[in-house]
Structure 1
Amino acid sequence: MEIKRIENLSNEDWLQLGSFGYKSTQKYELTKEETQGSFSMHLTLTNLDNIYEKEELNSTDDLKRYEEIIKMGFSYGLYISGSLIALALVEPQHWNNTMMIWHFQVNEKYIRKGYGRLLINKVNEIAKENGFRAITLETQNTNVPAIHFYMQCGYQIEGIDVSLYTNNDSHNEEIALYMRKKID
């Protein structure tokens, strides 16, 4: 097992990572109250009647953007026997002295075996070595396995965007959760 900086990603690398997506039997349901004198948002973990399944595909624009992020020198991969099995694409955000994880993926055959934690710990270490004050990432309220993983790694929910994916949150559809780990 080796964690090393990613210099480039081939189509074969993406294939080795497998499909990108998740399944969840729960979601964090959002309720919000807004009056002239106050505003509050509350997330409650709820069980779903059916498994929520999402498979994401990287568009050509995504892949071009990832290539630019990789050139910045903060993206890492975890390799077993020369095969890429986990990936963290990370962009420095110099304007606020943070790092942004744009894409974090572990091949489904290697999930819940500690490899994701090893990789996220490497990202945390790189952030600290380079003097960044925090690491930020975005996930969805429906991706409860990822939320719980990031929480176990010291990340906290610090932001909610109810219209990142759709302009209609009246049915409490998928919403964006921003999580952050402050670096000491």
Structure 2
Amino acid sequence: MEYEIIHLPKEKWKGTIIPIGYTTDKYYDVIVNKTDKGFAIGIEKRDFTEPVTHTPEEYNFPDKLYEDHWENAYAWGVLVNDELVAAIETDQELWSNRLRITELWVAENYQKQGIGHALVEMAKEQARRQRRRAIILETQSCNVNAIDFYQHEGFTLIGMDTCCYKNNDLQRKEVRLEFGWFPKKKKRLRREEVEIRMETEEDWYKVELMTQRAFWNNHHLGCDEHYLVHKMRQDKDFLPELSRIAVKDGEIIGYIMYSKARVVDGEDTHEVVTFGPLCVDPKWQGCGVGELLLRETMDLVKNKGYKGIIIFGEPDYYPRIGFKTCDNFNITSAEGRNFDAFMGIELWEGSMEGIKGKFYESELFENLPKEEVEEYSKKFPKLKKLRFPGQWD
């Protein structure tokens, strides 16, 4: 049976007790010895003389969803007949750029059905989207089933605390162990490894399919960027001579789409350009494809005589390529605002001098009716809509 994983909103599920309990006949014995050269630490699986059971009732502070000390908590779960039977909660450790799994539980009757794996995959997807350098979690040395499960999911031991719960944790065989999972580091592609060219009509469907995968569940439930690409090709502001696709071994792995824009200051109008979407297939994200597309097309834009590029984009990404917030250019959004995601770049030194006012892009960006998006999306393989932290709605 396939179970649906859903987001558990904080306003509804805060304070819900997660009844974590288990019985085990084994434990990982943690031995710490002081030596002349430092410390010798051993961790070895052993048998209890008789099974040990831990229940939620024995703890003064049972596990609960959305505890106050987890400031950035986010939870998913599985409901059967409106009853919670499995859950995972994460918290973003912003200072270290890690993601912590704070809760992971599957009711006994639903274990060994792939639910735990699916929940961990949600955390891994969150880490990938947020570019976290690691996922970390806590378990106990006597929770052998959990330890074996985490290792099967790719986690490895990264540390321990021998007095986390009581001062005799070593003697009680219940030592806090920390496990970590690390995304594989991707190799950056060189320019000669990627074909960058204009798209043809034969590329259109594959470009839109790749765009959908790149943006799915990113800013909203689902996405509309693939429909934007379709509509923009017919728009008067589209600049196909500047737009490019990236191709690797015959597969379209990236796309940048340019369109005309303007900065208006009273009766003065300055023509600039914008791009969007700029996207890379998820399996090639982190390989430098977007930067290759952007740097190559920026030269094309410059050679066409445009003085600047203005965008709404990721503030953690574009500044390293040279983009600055638009308050540096005396340019605001159409509503007169400035914010971190509103950025621009000069195409040569001082090229944006004298350009000031309010920025306007194609009306198409604000005119993508949801019903049209849903209808157009039927052309593509069906993808599941899921909630993730950071979505706009």
Question: TM (normalized to structure 2)?
Answer: 0.42
- Partners of 2:105 and 2:179 in 1: how far apart? 16
Alignment correspondent of 2:178: 178
Q: Which has the higher strand share?
A: 1
Alignment correspondent of 1:86: 86
- Partners of 1:99 and 1:21 in 2: how far apart? 24
Deviates more, 1:76-85 or 1:42-51: 76-85
Alpha-carbon deviation of 1:115?
0.6
- Partners of 1:147 and 1:174 in 2: how far apart? 13
Equivalenced residues, count: 179
CA 62–55 in structure 1, closer or farther in 2 if over 3 Å, else same: closer
Alignment correspondent of 1:97: 97
Which has the bigger relative contact order, CA under 8 A and spacing at least 6? 1
Deviates more, 1:79-88 or 1:46-55: 79-88
- Partners of 1:167 and 1:60 in 2: how far apart? 18
Amino acid at match of 1:30: V
Work out whether 1:3 is the aligned partner of 2:41: no
Q: Mind listing any 5+ residue stretches in structure 1 that lack a counterpart? A: none
Alignment correspondent of 1:66: 67
Alpha-carbon deviation of 1:173?
3.1
CA 64–109 in structure 1, closer or farther in 2 if over 3 Å, else same: closer
Alignment correspondent of 2:273: none
Identity of aligned residues (%): 25
Q: What is the SS of the residue equivalent to 1:127? A: helix
Q: What is the SS of the residue equivalent to 2:74? A: coil
- Partners of 1:29 and 1:42 in 2: how far apart? 8
CA 170–88 in structure 1, closer or farther in 2 if over 3 Å, else same: closer
CA 77–30 in structure 1, closer or farther in 2 if over 3 Å, else same: same
Q: Mind listing any 5+ residue stretches in structure 2 that lack a counterpart? A: 185-393
Alpha-carbon deviation of 1:31?
1.5
Alpha-carbon deviation of 1:84?
2.3
CA 50–103 in structure 1, closer or farther in 2 if over 3 Å, else same: same
Cα-Cα RMSD: 2.4
Question: TM (normalized to structure 1)?
Answer: 0.85
Alpha-carbon deviation of 1:169?
4.4
1:124-166 deviations in Å (ceiling 9; x for gaps): 1111111111111100000000000111000111111111011
Alpha-carbon deviation of 1:73?
5.6
